[in-house]
């Protein structure tokens, strides 16, 4: 089934630059390779992923929570801030997604918390939505910067002083 999904990949999957933060967990990386994501970068620490996100070298970030071991402090957990918080869309993968993990992930800046045992079809859909959200955010940022460019006479092209109060009327 995974091979059938990768045959007709949209362009956003073939050109996507994805960073995966996974300690020893490699099942997700193998599944992404089989799906056909060409530019896949694996990081073993959150600091590496944050530096890649700050440089703007990735389109999406996937973080895998380490397995819970008694009396062991993991390098990161669900409360750790997402590597691309606010700039790069991120997903959090966990063995068991509880309401606590979902709330902590949302507070930390992740788009969603997903179980590791997700089917390949659902993973394909979620990553597609994540990439689409990232591109939509890029377009919104470019439109915002374009609207603030100076117009004729040194005034802002779409500033508040351009239009009077109320709705515009066609004459």
- For the chain, what percent of residues have pLDDT higher than 90? 9
Token pair of 112, please? 């969603």
What's the mean pLDDT in 28-48? 85
Cα separation, 115 vs 157, in Å, equals 47
pLDDT band at 168 (very low <50, low <70, confident <90, very high): low
Residues in the chain: 171
| Listed range (86-90, 117-121, 152-156) with the worst mean pLDDT | 152-156
**pTM for this structure?**
0.70
Under a CB-based contact definition with an 8 Å cutoff, are residues 92 and 112 in contact?
Answer: yes
pLDDT tens per residue, range 124-136: 888 888 888 777 7
Cα separation, 104 vs 25, in Å, equals 21
The CB density around residue 92, as the number of other CB atoms within 10 Å, is: 28
Q: Is 142 left (phi over 0), alpha (psi -120 to 50) or beta?
A: alpha
pLDDT tens per residue, range 40-57: 888 888 888 888 888 888
pLDDT band at 99 (very low <50, low <70, confident <90, very high): very high
Angle at 124 between CA 142 and CA 120, to 5 degrees: 160
Specify the higher pLDDT residue, 23 or 21.
21
Is the per-residue pLDDT at 5 higher than 70? no
3-state DSSP call for residue 115? strand
Is the per-residue pLDDT at 36 higher than 60? yes
Domain boundaries, the chain: 2-154
Angle at 143 between CA 138 and CA 148, to 5 degrees: 130
CATH topology of domain 2-154: Rossmann fold (3.40.50)
Specify the higher pLDDT residue, 146 or 38.
38
Specify the higher pLDDT residue, 159 or 109.
109
């Amino acid at each position: 089934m995974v091979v059938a999904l990768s045959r007709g990949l949209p362009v956003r999957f073939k050109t996507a630059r994805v960073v995966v933060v996974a300690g020893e967990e490699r099942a997700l990386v193998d599944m992404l390779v089989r799906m056909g994501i060409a530019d896949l970068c694996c990081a073993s620490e959150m600091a590496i992923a944050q530096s890649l996100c700050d440089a703007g070298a990735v389109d999406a970030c996937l973080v895998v929570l380490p397995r819970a071991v008694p009396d062991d402090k993991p390098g990161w957990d669900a409360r750790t801030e997402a590597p691309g918080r606010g700039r790069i869309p991120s997903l959090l993968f966990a063995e068991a997604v509880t309401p606590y993990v979902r709330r902590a992930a949302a507070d930390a800046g992740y788009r969603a918390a997903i179980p590791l045992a997700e089917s390949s079809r659902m993973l394909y859909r979620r990553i597609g939505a994540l990439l689409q959200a990232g591109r939509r955010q890029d377009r919104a940022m470019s439109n915002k910067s374009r609207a603030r460019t100076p117009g004729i006479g040194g005034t802002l092209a779409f500033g508040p002083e351009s239009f009077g109060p109320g709705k515009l009327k066609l004459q």
